[in-house]
Amino acid sequence: MLNRRLFLIGAAAAIPLAGLSVRPALAATPKTFAPDGLAIKGYDPVAYFTEEKPVEGSADFTHEYNGATWRFASAENRDMFVADPEAYAPQYGGYCAFALSKNAIATSDPDAWTVYEGKLYLNYSLKVRGFWLEDVPGNIALADANWPSVLEK
């Protein structure tokens, strides 16, 4: 459903966002990016912190949170998340953090991730993550200013 509403950002922003597909947020934009109902496309959010890499979650270990199903690689990871979901859930509902810094919404790739100051940020692609990494604190400040109001545009 989200993919049908994607569009390329305008020429002025296209240079720094080369290859980033974004879409305007609509009133019905869910707070959590969850294709097919799965947050982080089924990857375990806790593993980014404990294993320092993306790890696919299992349908055997799930939890409903913020309108999405979250999968985990183990019962231990699920229980850690349930105890403190804000500590493990990606910022900006799992939407692309760099797009949020540009006041736009874009999907994210579980392999394009960064943990910065104890928080998980996802990006549209590895290439876009490169732009994100050029100024993480500045991009966070911009994204924070746009979130969650960008969902209501």
Nearest to 33 by CA among 122, 115, 98, 120: 122
Contacts of 14 (CB under 8 A, 6+ apart): 8
Geometric angle at alpha carbon 126, from 18 and 87, rounded to 5°: 120
β-bridge partners, 99: none
pLDDT in tens, the chain (153 residues): 332 223 222 322 333 454 555 555 444 589 999 999 999 999 999 999 999 999 999 999 999 999 999 999 999 999 999 999 999 999 999 999 999 999 999 999 999 999 999 999 999 999 999 999 999 999 999 999 999 999 987
Predicted pLDDT of residue 138: 98
The predicted model scores a pTM of 0.84
